[in-house]
Structure 1
Amino acid sequence: MATRQLALDLPHADSRSRDDFLPGLANEAALALVESWPNWPARAVALVGPAGSGKSHLAAIFAERSGARVLPAAALDSASVPALLADGALVIEDLGNGPIPEAGLFHLLNLAGEQKAGVLITSTRLPSALSETVATRDLASRLRALPVVTLGPPDEELLASVALKLFADRQILPDENLLHYLLPRVERSIAGLRDVVGELDREALARKRPLTRALAAELLRGRAEPPDEPASSPDEVTLNDVTIG
């Protein structure tokens, strides 16, 4: 019987600097938005995409560029809004992942307009869909009017670049055979690719074997082949990207 060892799931470096952001067709509009600050089309903009698409990395780049604080949407309240906007910019992360803080968000959007501050909101759901879940009519109207930049599914070139980075973060230098085998067989999303790379790394450590194409084939055997295009939820529709000045 092959010897296994305990594979500790240690944290791996995940730099969110601009230099470590991998651009591609899927995220070029979002990156252009962040890099065009403060010349934005509106004071508040929503960055929408599936989990693992790069929203938080882009939010971190924006925060570094603008001096913005980064706050989870669940922590937003009306009383803190003036202080949060004191630096002229703010990031609200994961709006819609839980109950929407309606009073705080309404106050934030109003004050940002008055003070000409910038607000970047990240979400997996379109603001128009979120507007249907709030009770405050004026807030619903503001959400429907919020400019949106979407992150699309990664293309082959971006997936390959991300795979190389994910392996490098784990001190693994994959050969071409491993990448050529792996990429057509994983979910076509950055989040899915991250999960598979982590799984392969843990299993290779547990089995005390180098991570090769043969081991990847053994570990992934029996998985269902992913569809050519990821299924879209009702909220994930194609939008025309806003024009970046």
Structure 2
Amino acid sequence: MRKRARKTTGLAALLTMAALALTTACAGSDGDDDKGGPGGGGDRGDKGASSATAAPSPLDRLIIASADLADYTVNQGKPDGWASGQPTSSDPECQPLADATGDKPSAAARETVRRGVNAKADPAKGVTTALSTYDAADAESYMRDLEAALAACGKGFETTLDGNTVGYGEVRALDVPTRADDTVAYTMTAVSQGQKIVMHFVAVRSDATIATFTALDLRHLTAGYPVPQEVVDKQIKKLGA
């Protein structure tokens, strides 16, 4: 029998967004954030290059590292099968929320670096953290666009990437206090192939740099895992906010 070519399913594509955190933490060590970790270096969302082949970015020095978080492991390896690209929303008003599940938080991001953060006590609880640089006006617009999307998309929307569709429902804003210039936080429940996945998001702005955090519990997909306040606070501190 002829085998079909292997293709990333909608559910698998969704999980790879946070699989960076779990995969590298299980395979690597606390020093992986300095060494590049298994599977390559930190992601450059706009260039498609790893730190093994690209010159270090100023963002590499600003994004959180294992030395900043005693109870967490921070890695920059990119696991095999990482789903790349930007999902397209069924509703244009919801595109900012769809972009948050892709390689880049928005098309206006000039550069993006990404890390995986896992709780040492339970590595299945993972946070994908990204720093992106913008023009000043674009950074502020990004935060306002997120707020507008949250207001418009409470009833849910669908995204499509490489022919795969993921539905998002139970979209609601959250209150996450920070010392950043601007903060938007929310939760969404993704549904793919009948599986529900509760996801938490936080975006914070410090001048023209935006940090985004996506968290879920890969062992208990419907339980949800709020982005740890300590992780957000440490990142904001490193940005000088």
Q: TM range, normalised to the smaller chain?
A: under 0.3
Bigger radius of gyration, 1 or 2? Answer: 1
Q: Looking at both structures, which has the greater relative contact order when contacts are Cα pairs under 8 Å and sequence separation is at least 6?
A: 1
Larger strand percent: 2
Q: TM-score, normalised by structure 2?
A: 0.24
Structure 1 length as normaliser, TM-score? 0.24
More helix by share: 1
